[in-house]
Structure 1
Amino acid sequence: MTDPMILTVAPNGAYKRRTEYPHVPQTPEQLAQEAQRCLQAGAAMLHLHVREADGGHSLDVGHYRAALAAVRAAVGQAMVLQVTTEAAGRYQPPAQMAMVRELRPEAVSVGLREIDRPETGDAALADFFGWLVRERVMTQVILYDVADLRRWQALRSAGTVPDAPWFLLFVLGRYSAGQTSSPHDLLPFVQAHTGGEPWAMCAFGASEHACAVTAAALGGHVRVGFENNLLLKDGRPAADNAALVAQAAEAARCLGRPLATAEQLRERFMPA
């Protein structure tokens, strides 16, 4: 049977502000409304960032709890809610890991290069990943290039990262000129990926949809949204995140791939 495609939406990110992009959701209420629309369009997981009152990036546990409560009230259990540990130039590994331990979220994304620092050390890294496994937190590991993927593989081989149902995210275009991406950027990741973990991609810039179609065709999963791109496949501004989700959902249907449900994600990545 064809592997159902996991379609995730990243509706806001750490940097885009409503003063520049009026449709980027920031408050708990705005995130809840956007989540409802994206669920109807086909997304099974929401990757959310929370903001301070001035719109700046935050890892505040109280802000997260308020946003998660609002979104959960809007969508029930029909979406997996994933928080981020992104540093965005404001946070260091101890604070990033402490936030996750205090919040105990259903799902989290972790940028490997952000927490795998010399000052962290392998012992603390092993303790953190071990805690994620014991707490059954669905964890997506963010990898920005093949060097990140090789480091992940080394940590797995050394036993620093235990065996578990990890989920990888290959990021295209984050460190390219002008933060633009191409479907070709996915190929080095796919060729170097030998560990067998399921993977998804996100892509910066106007080629997001082309990259998503390529990932879906190669058996991967897809994350779209205003965090990385504001444009439809024809170059017009997207009215909301749901429009980007709908494009990706239609591509999956054209490829004969059903869309995964939140229940299927929980069964796959958070087994009892």
Structure 2
Amino acid sequence: MLEGNKVIITVAINGGMQQDREGAIVPKQPDEIGEEAARCWEAGAAMVHVHARDKDGKNSGDPEIYAQIIREIRARSPILVQTTNGIGVRRDPKTGQLYWPDDRERLGLLSIEPQQDLFGIAAGSADFHNPEGGYPGETPYVNSPELLRETIKAVYAKGSALEYEVIETSSLHRLLRYAEEGLFDRHRKNMWLLHGGGFGSTPPYPRNIIFSIDEGQRLFPQAIVGVTGTGRHMFPLVTLGLSMKCDLVRVGFEDGIHLPDGKVATYNRDMVGAAAQIAAFYGLTPASVEEARARFGIAQPGE
């Protein structure tokens, strides 16, 4: 928990493959993303997690589209911008098989100009599966040692913070191994772990998330602790994280479309508002952008 009973609310606004469905409107183009990010900031989000889409709405690793998104967001609000490192799954037009972008394309997102505020990467590999999030088929999601090491080096050299998605608890020990190799200090204050369930490797049940959080705190005692979930498990797990006074929770259409009462949200801002309401039950209020920036240990853009 941040000082002053604050919690950082992150909104994963669109994902790499998700489309409008059941009344949920997913922002895809830079101006749409910029506008919805501003509305989410007004609702209490301090950070927006974005994927880029091309003109046809398909995921893209084009740094220029990401640059457009960042400019559109910053023109409308001060919300912190975090980019994906996964880009998004794709379907081979010949075979119909799902596959992920290669490491070279993914590493290209480390060189966007203007630079994003924050970065993220999955700390392990998994059999990715999220039907409610728009990923109907089981797909191997590989995060190679080379990709992870290069990302860690580049992000920390920039003076930024890197979110490690804890795909499963064993990935925490992968990170510990890299720390012991001297790649980073496991006691660094902006070490950032996002625990979650529902993508495939971690079943979305409280006992699994609690164990993951406990193990993360044991290995990385000063880490920022975040929680998320997918599909209809999103808000039960977000509520768990809030009840445990974690530092951060993540909601948004990348991960699911259902509000706590089971209704479908029309906009991402509805999910941010719901997270803020639940936080209030536990005596928590949404952290401001500046409070989040201080916890992540990052400077203003251009500084």
In structure 2, do the counterparts of structure 1 residues 207 and 57 end up closer, same or farther at CA, with 3 Å as the change threshold? same
- Can you give the 5+ residue segments of structure 1 that lack an aligned partner in the other structure? none
Contact 1:80/1:262, CA 8 A, preserved across alignment: yes
2:279 is the alignment partner of 1:252: yes
Equivalence for 1:95:
105
Equivalence for 2:211:
188
Equivalence for 1:131:
154
2:124 is the alignment partner of 1:113: yes
Shift of 1:149: 1.6
Shift of 1:27: 0.7
2:192 to 151, 167, 171: 167
Which has the higher mean CA deviation after the structures are superposed, 66-75 or 93-102? 93-102
Contact 1:126/1:161, CA 8 A, preserved across alignment: no
- Can you give the 5+ residue segments of structure 2 that lack an aligned partner in the other structure? 90-98, 126-141
Name the aligned partner's letter for residue 111 of structure 2. Answer: R
1:142 to 161, 165, 174: 165
Contact 2:61/2:109, CA 8 A, preserved across alignment: yes
Contact 2:195/2:213, CA 8 A, preserved across alignment: no
Deviations along 1:116-175, whole A, 9 cap, x unmatched?
A: 525x2xxx7545423312212221111111011221122223222345412111121100
The DSSP-based 3-state class of the residue aligned with 1:31 is: helix
Which has the higher mean CA deviation after the structures are superposed, 16-25 or 262-271? 16-25
Name the aligned partner's letter for residue 151 of structure 1. Answer: R
Deviations along 1:216-255, whole A, 9 cap, x unmatched?
A: 1112120001111111111111111111111110111111
TM-score by length of 2: 0.80
Give, in whole Å, the separation in 1 of the partners of 2:206 and 2:21: 31
In structure 2, do the counterparts of structure 1 residues 234 and 205 end up closer, same or farther at CA, with 3 Å as the change threshold? same
Shift of 1:38: 0.9
Which has the higher mean CA deviation after the structures are superposed, 66-75 or 104-113? 104-113
In structure 2, do the counterparts of structure 1 residues 258 and 16 end up closer, same or farther at CA, with 3 Å as the change threshold? same
Equivalence for 2:234:
208
Shift of 1:2: 4.4
Deviations along 1:28-84, whole A, 9 cap, x unmatched?
A: 111122112211111000001111222221121000011111111111x2x111111
Name the aligned partner's letter for residue 207 of structure 1. Answer: H
Name the aligned partner's letter for residue 239 of structure 1. Answer: T
Name the aligned partner's letter for residue 133 of structure 1. Answer: Y
Shift of 1:190: 1.7
1:36-115 matched pairs, under 5 angstroms: 36-75=38-77, 77=78, 79-87=79-87, 88=89, 89-103=99-113, 104-113=115-124
TM-score by length of 1: 0.88
The DSSP-based 3-state class of the residue aligned with 2:226 is: strand
Give, in whole Å, the separation in 1 of the partners of 2:297 and 2:8: 15
Name the aligned partner's letter for residue 32 of structure 2. Answer: Q
2:301 is the alignment partner of 1:261: no
Contact 2:52/2:61, CA 8 A, preserved across alignment: yes
2:252 is the alignment partner of 1:225: yes
Name the aligned partner's letter for residue 177 of structure 2. Answer: A
Contact 1:125/1:160, CA 8 A, preserved across alignment: no
Name the aligned partner's letter for residue 204 of structure 1. Answer: T
> Percent identical across equivalent pairs?
24
In structure 2, do the counterparts of structure 1 residues 90 and 234 end up closer, same or farther at CA, with 3 Å as the change threshold? same
In structure 2, do the counterparts of structure 1 residues 16 and 134 end up closer, same or farther at CA, with 3 Å as the change threshold? same
Name the aligned partner's letter for residue 190 of structure 1. Answer: I
Contact 1:225/1:244, CA 8 A, preserved across alignment: yes
In structure 2, do the counterparts of structure 1 residues 268 and 191 end up closer, same or farther at CA, with 3 Å as the change threshold? closer
In structure 2, do the counterparts of structure 1 residues 246 and 262 end up closer, same or farther at CA, with 3 Å as the change threshold? same
Larger helix proportion, structure 1 or 2? 1
Number of equivalenced pairs: 264
Contact 1:213/1:251, CA 8 A, preserved across alignment: yes
Contact 2:121/2:148, CA 8 A, preserved across alignment: no
